[in-house]
A = this chain, B = another copy of it.
Amino acid sequence: MNIGIIGLGLIGGSFALAAKKYSIGSILFGSDQKREHFDEAMHMGIVDYELNHENYADMDVIILAIPVDTSLEVASSILDKINENTLLIDAGSTKTAICKLLRLHPKRNQFLATHPIAGTEFSGPSAAYADLFLDESQIICESQKTRPDLLEWAVQWFRNMNMQVNEMDPEAHDKHIAYVSHLSHISSFMLGKTVMEKEKDERAIFDMAGSGFRSTVRLAKSSPDMWTPIFKQNQKNITKVLGEYITNLQDFKSLLENNSYDHLYSQMKEINAIKTILAGIKNNKTTNK
């Protein structure tokens, strides 16, 4: 089984390592726009050979794990070059644009749009690890457009890696993910900005920042190369969600200014119900490696 990985960062590298761990006989081919990432991935044994345009047709499956704008630029030409039984899987954090782009491609049925719901704030091959996806959700979109034999193989492959496969419409995916992922990243980036602007005396941050701050600001370490294109592609949903978040913060501030502490109390009490929701989300993994 020849597996090609385009983009040897956290996601692509972890797919390579998971394939090696959970699928005996996997031979890994990889490429990365950054030469040093490819060299690092080779050195670390994440991939075995270099992937290039010439050997695309030798792959059984190719995973596209690069920023979502670059995916749009290269996906069509990759499909053009693969053989008639290769499956191309994209793993980006937005799904509408790529599904729309490829909808009329003659090899559309050799493409599967996915979003593995896993990640850390780290990037590059050194951030990759085989169990990043363990027990995590793998969203697949428009699976009825993928050739049944290829789809069946892919779903089994994901399950072998212990991923939970869930189907979702691309537009629904982009709308929901704005709430449960994209907003978290923006709130964290802006928290980091607010604190850094005012806490020029970094010593105070060192002494006073506990686990709460570390936890809420963690995502502010995320890669702008990855996130700028996501924000661009999901601009409409994110703008809406961000507006709702700002309104909630403004309401909270008004309650505080008006000394409406009973109201603040009952609001927080209601929000505590997030416990029940989070308890339903598998929480047995560390968020850092």
Contacts and interface: CB of A to CB of B under 8 A. Distances in A.
Interface string A255-276: 0110101001111111111110
Contact of A137 (B139, B189, B207, B218): B207
Dominant secondary structure at the A interface: helix
B216 A281 contact: no
Nearest to A189: B271
Contacts of A33: none
A100 interface: no
A138 to B, nearest CB: 10
A78 interface: no
A166 interface: yes
B184 A287 contact: no
A100 to B, nearest CB: 19
A102 interface: no
A24 interface: no
Contact of A248 (B194, B218, B285): B194
B193 A179 contact: no
* Copies of this protein chain in the complex: 2
A196 B218 CA distance: 22
A210 B241 contact: no
B192 A208 contact: no
B232 A261 contact: yes
The interface size bin for chain A is 35 or more
A45 interface: no
Contacts of A119: 210-212
A27 interface: no
A180 to B, nearest CB: 4
A179 B121 CA distance: 22
A244 B60 CA distance: 52
22 contacts: A117-B207, A118-B210, A118-B211, A139-B207, A176-B208, A180-B208, A184-B191, A184-B216, A185-B212, A187-B187, A189-B271, A205-B277, A214-B281, A215-B218, A220-B272, A224-B264, A224-B265, A224-B268, A239-B253, A239-B257, A242-B256, A246-B250
Given A181-B208, A181-B210, 14 more contacts: A117-B207, A119-B210, A137-B210, A172-B204, A179-B195, A180-B195, A181-B209, A186-B252, A193-B270, A214-B278, A216-B219, A220-B271, A231-B256, A238-B256
Interface of A: 117-121, 136-137, 139, 164, 166, 168, 172-173, 176-177, 179-181, 183-199, 202, 204-222, 224, 227-228, 231-232, 235, 238-239, 241-246, 248-250, 252-253, 256-257, 259, 261, 264-275, 277-278, 280-281, 283, 285-287
User: What are the 3 A-B residue pairs with the smallest beta carbon separation, nearest first?
Assistant: A224-B268, A184-B216, A192-B274
